[in-house]
A = this chain, B = another copy of it.
Amino acid sequence: MVRIVEVGPRDGLQNEALPITTPVKAAFVAALVGAGLKEIEVSSFVSPKWVPQLGDAVELFEMLRVQFPVEPPYFSALVPNEKGLERAIPSGVKRIAVFTAASDQFTQKNINMGVDESLDVIATVVDAFRKAVPDGFVRGYVSTAFECPCAGKVPYADTARVAGILHKKIGVDEISLGDTIGVAVPAEVAELHDYVTADIPKKKIAWHFHDTRGTAIANVAKALDLGYEVFDSSAAGLGGCPYAPGAGGNLATEDLVYFLERSGIATGVDLAKLARASLPVLEALGRRPAARSQLAALAE
């Protein structure tokens, strides 16, 4: 049973300078739910000082609680530290994500601490979260799992070490391995797989591919062949797009859904509804649709 973790509202929007209003975000999330997505990372309880775009996480969760009063889908949020957790818990968040990377230079640049220090912070956050929300779910991101924009090629042993600590010592429920700059090819997915499965069961591992160089679906295909079942993607390919409109950043959920469905793997997602879900956000950002399958679906 393949699971798609939609990260567009958080990962997709976090680097966008033009502010998206909370109602537009809530409508975006609701449209994603309407398209059939069941797991959505909707925001981050990061300091609004650092990421103003996601400064409305409390309000967004409040709005979503009103929209989805009974049996809501799995809405999660990134929680970078204890301060964030203090805001997340009263918001009723049952699923959190924590963030680190395989490369010290990347965490230094992004969160101003080394990888091991970030793992200490994560341990504290996860402990506190488990106490507050015993039936909660924790996902741990390992960015730069293949290569770091600052440090270059990352040894797979480093990625496996960080993933191993998240799994064994911190006890997260799921680890998402991120090809942050979209460089990986299937052979590398197979190599990293060999390293990480020495210590971690496959079913605890998700893959977070970027399509910067057109390889994301090939990597998903390889991971499926290897027996993995959880993939992150972002509606309309929002986010992770450092070059230009049209360049691939995050793997577009549309492309992932198209590929899975056409390969005979049911996703429960309606591609046409999905293709339309992000249009108001793209409009607010002054962007045209760019995800390949989104364009194809919108043209039909």
Chain A contact residues, CB within 8 Å of chain B: 182-183, 185-188, 211-218, 220-222, 242-248, 252, 255, 258-259, 262-264, 288-293, 295-296, 298-299
Contacts and interface: CB of A to CB of B under 8 A. Distances in A.
28 contacts: A182-B296, A185-B263, A186-B263, A187-B264, A211-B214, A212-B293, A213-B258, A213-B293, A214-B216, A214-B217, A214-B255, A214-B292, A215-B255, A215-B262, A218-B218, A218-B221, A218-B259, A221-B221, A221-B222, A242-B299, A243-B299, A244-B288, A244-B295, A245-B246, A246-B295, A247-B290, A247-B292, A247-B296
A263 B212 contact: no
B292 A248 contact: yes
A12 B36 CA distance: 37
Contacts of A242: 299
A106 to B, nearest CB: 18
> Closest 6 interchain pairs by CB?
A246-B246, A214-B255, A218-B218, A247-B295, A243-B295, A213-B293
A292 B249 CA distance: 9
Contacts of A243: 295-296, 298-299
A185 B299 contact: no
A183 B262 contact: yes
A255 B247 CA distance: 12
A187 B296 CA distance: 20
Contacts of A220: 218
A94 to B, nearest CB: 32
A255 B213 contact: yes
